Amino acid sequence: METALAPLTLHRPQPLEAIAAAGAAGFDLSGVQFRVYGQPASPLLYDPEFVVATTRALAASSISVLEVSNVVLEEDFLLEEARAFATFAAAVGARVLQVVGWDDVVDRAVENLAFVADIAADVGLEVVVEFMPYSQTKTLADALHLVTEIDRSNVSLILDSLHLFRSGGTVADVAAVDSRYFGVIQLSDAPSRAPDFENLRPESIGNRLVPGTGELPLRELLGVLPDNLPVSLEVPCMAVAGLPHVDQAGYVLDGFRRFLAEAPPR
């Protein structure tokens, strides 16, 4: 099982710091994040020198890039920004472009996702779509609708365990979906009781738990997913936010390994 360090796990890292921390902690893969919804993309996305620096950092850390994030589907969708994401991802050997849906006009979101899929396919990339209960693509069903509507072979879902359960989804819902629609799983744990709606996003970006230390049915979830999915650990923990980045990464990976060792997914 390949493990990836999601950049959100670390407290305010620069991209190259996340790569170095992932490699030093023992991850197989790392993510590179240039944008979150509500903020502009980092200028590093357009910097050719950063491509060189990233390639060198990956070689020094003996890891590769899983996902480059986030291409945002929104009313003011930026075509050239999406091209820049694909260009960077291809240049550093990333596997997937991560897309998040913040457009309440579904037909427009479908059209723009098709554009992203096609430019990604041109450079040999996969695309994964994430749903979040506080976004416009709120549920597994919402994300699956986007993916099936465009009918592109290089597009699947990134399944975030926290977002699945916080959006009211279940293991049975996941089991009912054709496994070919899953490309990556983002894993974290949490208490079973969800916070109030206005606190869903703060929880997701700053207060998750290492797998096995909360109450979500993660073993059951892994048990209905394909064995070959890369597992991206997205576990920002308040308890370790003050530690060096490599220690934050190591805390999460060591905890995940204990989770796997205690009992295999069923």
* Structural contact between residues 142 and 101, judged by C-beta atoms closer than 8 angstroms: yes
* C-alpha to C-alpha distances, 2 to 186, 211, 257, nearest whole angstrom: 12, 15, 12
Q: Which CATH architecture has domain 3-262?
A: Alpha-Beta Barrel (3.20)
pLDDT above 90 for 190:
yes
Q: What are the counts of helices (DSSP H) followed by strands (DSSP E) for the chain?
A: 10, 8
Backbone angles phi, psi at 231, to 5 degrees: -105, 115
Under the banding of pLDDT at 50, 70 and 90, the label for residue 264 is low
Q: What's the whole-model pTM score? A: 0.95
Average pLDDT over residues 62-74: 97
pLDDT in tens, 79-136: 999 999 999 999 999 999 999 999 999 999 999 999 999 999 999 999 999 999 999 9
